[in-house]
Amino acid sequence: MEMRSIVKAPHLNSIMDFPTLATFISAFSFLFYGTSCVSTAHMKKEFQRFGYPRQRLLTGYLQLLGAAGLIIGYTFAPILALISAIGLSLMMTFGFYVRLRIRDPLIAASPALIYALLNIYLSIHYTRIVFMAN
């Protein structure tokens, strides 16, 4: 019996390959984190602690846009997924730097590093699709 993808993605052969899994893990994580960033008192306190209270809403909205871009890009336009992955990787690289700068323990900073690396991988993957497709 053949498994069929619910999401139409002509550039991918299987719904469970690593790039697909990575795309949706990143997208759904940033839907959650973006929503939390925009709407919770906890994240308001965290951004004050980071030293960037005025950037909280912008960060949350950019995370939500990045998540939407990954999903829409995966489904319809890989260039959108590429742009989103690059933006999220830059954001998380900066987030990792901020965590280190304020002397957070490495365990607290590690999610930012993991998401930066995940989105760097996705940037490379979508660059291959967009610029090296036949």
pLDDT of residue 8: 47
**Across residues 70-92, what is the average pLDDT?**
98
pLDDT: is 9 or 97 the higher one? 97
pLDDT of residue 134: 58
Q: Which residue has the tokens 């306190």?
A: 45
pLDDT of residue 13: 53
Q: Single out the residue of 70, 67, 83, 71 nearest to residue 131, CA to CA.
A: 83
| Domain extent listing, the chain | 18-132
Q: Which two tokens stand for residue 34?
A: 């973006």
- pLDDT tens, 86-122? 999 999 999 999 999 999 999 999 999 999 999 999 9
Q: Assign residue 9 a region: left if phi > 0, alpha if psi is -120 to 50, beta otherwise?
A: beta
- pLDDT tens, 29-68? 999 999 999 999 999 999 999 999 999 999 999 999 999 9
Largest CA distance in the chain: 54
The full DSSP string for the chain is -----SS--TT-S-TTSHHHHHHHHHHHHHHHHHHHHHH-HHHHHHHHHHT-GGGHHHHHHHHHHHHHHHHHHHHT-HHHHHHHHHHHHHHHHHHHHHHHHTT--HHHHHHHHHHHHHHHHHHHHHHHHHHH--
